[in-house]
A = this chain, B = another copy of it.
Amino acid sequence: MKSSNKSYKELEEHFGRLLALREAAGLLHWDASTMMPKGINSSNARSEQISAIATICHEIINDNKISDLLDEAENLPTLTNWQTSNLREMRHMWIHETAVTKDLVEALTKASMSCEAQWRISKGDSDYTTIKPYLKEVLKLVKYSASKKSEVLNCTPYEALMDQYTPGLRETTINPLFKDFENFLPDFLRAVLEKQASEPQVNKPTGPFPIHQQKELGHSFMKMLGFDFREGRLDVSSHPFSGGTPDDLRITTRYDLNDFTSSLMGVLHETGHALYEKNLPKDWRRQPVGLARGMDVHESQSLLIEMQACRSREFLSFAVPLMKRAFNLNGPEWNTENIYRLYTKVQPSLIRVDADEVTYSAHVILRYNIERSLILEKMTLDDLPGMWNENMKKMLGIIPTNHELGCLQDIHWFDGAWGYFPSYTLGAMNAAQLFNSAVREKTNILPSIKCGNFGPLYDWLIENIHGLGSLYETPELLERATGQPLNAEIFKQHLISRYLN
């Protein structure tokens, strides 16, 4: 027995080192987005460094030793639940890493880094032709990787890609969900727009809102949520994200001198991500079971904070006075109800990250349909801009006037993150269901948020989600927390209640 448990312990060591290396690579990515000089040589060098780490990670996990240890440990009779789940997660990582060759990993890392660097330029020029050859290379490698993984996972290539970010997610789950929402949206959106058009005009506070004041306001809201600046930072990047490690959280935003609202909600969104990381089980730090449970759950945590909690009347009644004070401004536009209506205003628009809660999912479903078609070879990159515009027209009734506002707006495809987009809308659905359960179970959550106290909400989240890491697979995690499987009706009900009632 003792000698068998050795296999498990050895696995913990190997994966511990692997995850330390991934953390290092994560910091290199953060730096590339926030601090790294803009020269192409700098980013080429960074590609080499990240690629070297990715190759090492690939080698660690591809070592035959790991395969033997996994086989052995999976048959151990005396593992705890956490250890068993840790093995399950190790196996999942192992499957994804061993399905592809080192050369492919290396090539994909490098191609993505080059493509991302070129994307920053092409996006600025709104030029699809200069990025297309780079994107073609990335797509080729992604497709190849997807086909390899699909063989082992016994699923479609597109499912294999989603499985990297949302383990276990298959089209049988997501297709009906998205189809249903596509059907729900047009009438609902029309009703919301009509209702809002019939109401008095929303008054948007006018700036300028000095950047240092926006930053200070963001900091104070982050602290209110529980962000500890002794173990984290807020910086600027062109594409906001949450990175770092549980003990060194790195979130980013971007500021608009004439509009503080979007940066502020962005900061709250990323803080939601960051605090999930912070509250992951410390005993399982740098072990697969100690990691966040897939990107759909991750996105649920950011959207639960941003959309469910912070766009509520309860929170805004507390927050609006702080906003006024931060900018030393006053006037009727700072009325809480007006700000609430501003933050829940629905308006079909071109940019996903600026989209309101109702139309956001349309952006995601558009991308889902396109990337799925590209991976399954139902369309080619030549069709991409046209398909984009056509679907924007169909779903939201608007067409981008240039590619920067269209198919070049998101980093994901250019960065190699294919199969990621569905996480956003799944996250929104999870968030609605989780928040709904939380506030029903703990009746002091909403009253506390009204006083700027997120303690009770986080107590519930830590107990039901954060502190569990990857102990349970996503469906079980959600069912344990809410008493039922993913139920998209709750999200729709939330939308109806917030936007039509």
Chain A contact-residue range equals 35 or more
Taking CB atoms, residues of chain B closer than 8 Å to A25 are 24
Flag whether A230 is at the interface (Cβ < 8 A).
Answer: yes
Stretch at the interface among A49-57, A132-140, A165-173, A403-411: A49-57
Residues B286 and A37 in contact, CB atoms below 8 Å apart: no
Residues A35 and B35 in contact, CB atoms below 8 Å apart: yes
Mark contacts of A29-63 with chain B using CB atoms, 8 A cut-off: 1 yes-contact digit, 0 otherwise.
00100011111011011101111110110000000
Taking CB atoms, residues of chain B closer than 8 Å to A39 are 228, 230-231, 247-248
Chain B: CB-nearest residue to A26: B49
Taking CB atoms, residues of chain B closer than 8 Å to A44 are 247
| SS of A interface (majority) | helix
Given contacts A28-B24, A232-B37, contact A247 B52 (CB under 8 A): no
Residues A52 and B21 in contact, CB atoms below 8 Å apart: yes
Contact of A37 among B41, B49, B229 (CB under 8 A): B229
Flag whether A20 is at the interface (Cβ < 8 A).
Answer: yes
Copies in the complex: 2
Given contacts A17-B52, A31-B31, A39-B247, contact A45 B23 (CB under 8 A): yes
Residues A231 and B41 in contact, CB atoms below 8 Å apart: yes
Chain B: CB-nearest residue to A49: B24
Flag whether A254 is at the interface (Cβ < 8 A).
Answer: no
Q: Which of A3-32 contact B (CB under 8 A)?
A: 17, 20-21, 23-25, 27-28, 31
Residues B248 and A46 in contact, CB atoms below 8 Å apart: yes
15 contacts between A and B (CB under 8 A): A20-B49, A21-B56, A24-B49, A31-B31, A35-B233, A36-B248, A37-B230, A37-B231, A38-B230, A39-B228, A39-B247, A39-B248, A41-B231, A41-B247, A46-B248
Residues of A bordering B, CB below 8 Å:
17, 20-21, 23-25, 27-28, 31, 35-39, 41-42, 44-46, 48-53, 55-56, 228-233, 245-248, 286
